[in-house]
Structure 1
Amino acid sequence: MPAVPEGFARAYRAQQARYPAAEPAWQPVHTVYVPADRFSARTVAEWGDQALSLVKAHLADPGSLAEVFGVPDGLAAAVHERLLRKLSAEPVDDLRVDFEDGYGVRPGPVEDEHVDRAVAAIAAMRAAGTLPRRWGPRVKSFADGDPDRSVRTLERFVTGVVAAAGELPGGFTVTFPKVLMEPYLGQFAEVLERLEAGLGARLRFEMQVEAPQTLAFLRGDLNESLGGRLAAAHFGVFDYTAAIGLPPHEQRLDHPACDHARHVMQTAFAGTGVELSDGSLAASPASDLARDVHGLWRRHAELVRHSLRHGFYQGWDMHPSHLVSRFATVYAFHLARYDAYRERVRAWEERRPADGGVMDEPATIRTLAAALRRADAALP
């Protein structure tokens, strides 16, 4: 009988820890970033109200949705109904109170005051049941040369919420931007470990991939080296495209250079359980006229579809109008193939040929099943 190779058990345990191969769970379809000085307990409701107003004014029925987003007529009613339901009940999946680029550099006492105001707003939302399922701050980067400010904001934010709410509500995560050096990740993980010691809560964070230097240290064991604290990696389109020298008019999410960065992220984190998010569109409707609103929605929908085709199921939304095009495009994407995917899985399970002569491989069946679970989690 062949002997088990020496070291196999150790390597296999490492494989299971590094690549858990977990089934897709709920993941936000977007993250909304709101500058800290403009954030209040009403922000999420206000975004939902503004998005609904735009729908009522410029997307009043399924026919309008089919025309604007290119959704087949037979699908438009289901997408339209889900869009209205989502905007009314839960307009934001994931909320970031931004103390970085969207906020800028303020005197220390001013940022402290804005942290305290954000804490009060989070506590009020939690009490009212309006806190999104994911939420937290984006702090300043260590690459800015002032880690003290970043850590002070994070500690004041977290301890303030715990004091106001009695605990750290579920769904908390913190965004760590502009990770230009790998050691910053370990240093930030150490900050979280020290902070959580007095909280009784596990703290994780998401890194932003915003420079070509960052791609060089993305790898499968990165999260393992950080004690499992890395929850996600988010792509930053504008910093990244600026860093590689693209001209301003080419700083766009669907540029081939961004495709390369996204594929490196996918390759590095495949199977690790680290979630991936795409970036944003830095535009809002030029006016309240239908042509301008529709034009913005169409462009945003193109970018969302591009992300989805590349396997990025989450992105950033920077304006209430983006909620409409985000949800409409995501729902149409999932619903368009849902029944066909389900039929192929059933055919495989029943050991019969699928419609159209499709011969699915086991890996494809796993992908189909994952797509169905992802759709079930995303669709309201």
Structure 2
Amino acid sequence: MSAGDLGTRTLGRAFQQRAAERLTGTDQLLQRAYPGDPGTRQPVHTVYLPADTFTPETAQQWGARAAEAVAGLGVGVLAARIAPEGAAPELVDQVARAVERKLASEPIEDLRLDFEDGFGDRGDQEEDEWSVRAARTVAQAVREGTAPPYIGIRFKCFESPTRDRGLRTLDLFLTTLVREGGLRESGHSEDGLPRGLVLTLPKVSTLEQVEVMVEACEQLEAGLGLPAGRLRFEVQMETAPMILGTDGTCPIPAMLHRTNGRVEALHYGTYDYSDSLQIAAPYQSMEHPAADHAKAVMQVAVAGTGVRLSDGSTNILPTGDEQQRLGSWQLHARLVRRSLERGFYQGWDLHAHQLPTRFLATYFFYGQGFAAAALRLKNYVHGIESEIMDEPATARALARFVHRGVLCGAISGEELEESAGIGEQELFTLAHPKAAAPAASTTGGDFT
């Protein structure tokens, strides 16, 4: 059939050219501002602890404390108690064994040395000393191979009473890391910073505070000889003005799109945000309607930008008798699962005893949904007819789910090949078509 046999057209090349010219800005905006998720590993949690309590052995000590906390009950029994309805006994046993290994090998995925609420106001001299000491200790942990994959500091916020102190701690910590940490000389870093460095800016209320952080990063990079753009940071969403600003709009999109990609994550702060809305203390929770509203706004604001989300924490800790621990573990597991189901793949853990249920709930989430997702991916990729006809968008969602499971260690490459008939590279391409393929995957555990 020739082109003439296809019928006549009303819109000609001239209109197509005008459309292209008119939409050039849109094309550039979508490419620049909405690149999609990068497909790199996102830690399943962040652990916060006072900066002066961190040692190179902290992660291993937390793993040992977590294992000891469930020793009387047993990880297998706890897994059975918090398993989602319908979980097969084989899956319960598989998840329990995987979590036992996880607690022994990588109990903390992301660690934040806290110079804010967890450290308090101790005067400039003491905080100066601990800022330098923290940098040296982090560098030591990286050199010795005991640091979690992601590690960094939370410094004080940029409100007037603490602004100078926050900037001073940030400066001392980074300057000491680069100039005295010895990571470059020991071959553990090309620029003197840990590869998984994370910086946390808390209690943000305005775009200007974030812009000051961007300027600080630019000056630190220039002064320390770091590549431009090396310093990125996460923003804690803990105040009402970050959800609804003074002009009646949400400032999050402007914050993300006017900071040159410096903001890499938004972390919801359960208790500070609840307090800012005057919610009574007994009702402050990750699942309060006000929390769900704030997180829904955050989720829409970051969609397509590649900026990650983290849910908050529960302060109900499993530290009492066996009955109290079991109740707290069940609550924590339910909240972790709830966050995962709502698209928040990271959260905060405040105590070592929360680690077992963090990993149990996460592994159950991916393990229970893997078989169905893998079958649908197999049918889609290989063109196998079935009762479900998935479109490309659904296939991407299935692939992202499985890919996250692979990266966190809940699904092995062998399981992927066997059940879906594809490898990790093909899975990545399906899940993140806009992203450049990573050189190699970095998993967070061993599920099999």
TM-score (norm 1): 0.95
Aligned to 1:134: 150
Correspondence 1:302-317 to 2 at 5 A = 302-317=334-349
In the other structure, the counterpart of 1:199 is 225
- Tell me the residue number matched to 1:229: 262
Q: For the Cα contact (< 8 Å) 1:218–1:265, is it kept in 2? A: no
Q: Please say if 1:93 is aligned against 2:109.
A: yes
Matched, 1:249 2:282: yes
State how far apart, in whole Å, the 2-side matches of 1:315 and 1:330 are: 11
Identity of aligned residues (%): 38
- Residue by residue, what CA displacement relative to the aligned partner does 1:10-45 show, whole Å, maximum 9, x if unpaired? 320121110002453210000000111222222212
> Any gaps of 5 or more consecutive residues in structure 2?
1-12, 185-191, 245-249, 410-444
Match of 1:67 among 77, 81, 87: 81
Q: Which residue of 1 aligns with 2:402?
A: 372
- Please give the secondary structure, in 1, of the residue aligned with 2:95: helix
**Alpha-carbon distance in structure 2 between the residues aligned to 1:12 and 1:81:** 48
In 1: Cα distance, 2:397 partner to 2:147 partner = 32
Cα distance, 1:47 vs structure 2: 0.7
What's the CA shift for 1:277? 0.3
Identify the residue that residue 29 of structure 1 maps to in structure 2. Answer: 44
Q: Which residue of 1 aligns with 2:137?
A: 121
Distance 1:10 1:251 in 2: 44
Task: Give the CA deviation at 1:292.
Answer: 1.9
- Out of 54, 60, 64, the residue aligned to residue 49 of structure 1 is 64
Report the counterpart of residue 262 of structure 1 in structure 2: 295
The structure number with the bigger radius of gyration is 2
Within the alignment, does 1:164 sit opposite 2:181 as a pair? yes
Return the alpha-carbon distance in structure 1 between the equivalents of residues 253 and 234 of structure 2: 15
Deviates more, 1:217-226 or 1:16-25: 217-226
Rounded Cα–Cα distance in structure 1 between residues aligned with 2:354 and 2:165: 31
Query: Is 1:215 aligned to 2:230, yes or no?
Result: no
Could you tell me how far 1:221 is from its partner in structure 2?
5.0
Q: What CA distance in whole angstroms lies between the structure 2 residues aligned with 1:119 and 1:292?
A: 37
Distance 2:120 2:403 in 1: 39
Quote the Cα distance in structure 1 between the aligned partners of 2:82 and 2:95.
13
Deviations 1:184-233 (CA, angstroms, capped at 9, x unpaired): 00011100110011232410000010111111344445323101100100
* Paired amino acid for 1:130: T
Change (3 A) 1:218 1:346: farther
Deviations 1:306-337 (A, max 9, x none): 11111000000000011111000000000001
Total equivalences in the alignment? 376
After superposition, the C-alpha distances for 1:37-89 in whole angstroms (9 at most, x for unaligned) are: 222222212111101112322224x3442124445422111111110111111
Quickly say closer, same or farther: Cα 1:22–1:69, change in 2 above 3 A: closer
Is contact 2:111-2:150 (8 Å) kept?
yes
3-state SS of 1:296 partner: helix
Whether 1:291 aligns to 2:319 is no
Q: Which moved more, 1:321-330 or 1:164-173?
A: 164-173
TM (norm. structure 2) is 0.81
Report SS of the residue matched to 1:143: coil
AA matched with 1:199: G
What is the CA-CA distance between 1:358 and the residue it aligns to? 2.4
Q: Name which of 87, 98, 102 aligns with 2:118.
A: 102
* Farther off after superposition, 10-19 or 233-242: 10-19
Which segments of structure 1 move beyond 4 Å, counting only runs of 4 or more?
Answer: none
CA distance 1:181–1:350, shift in 2 (3 Å): same
Amino acid at match of 2:47: V
CA distance in 2, matches of 1:346, 1:139: 47
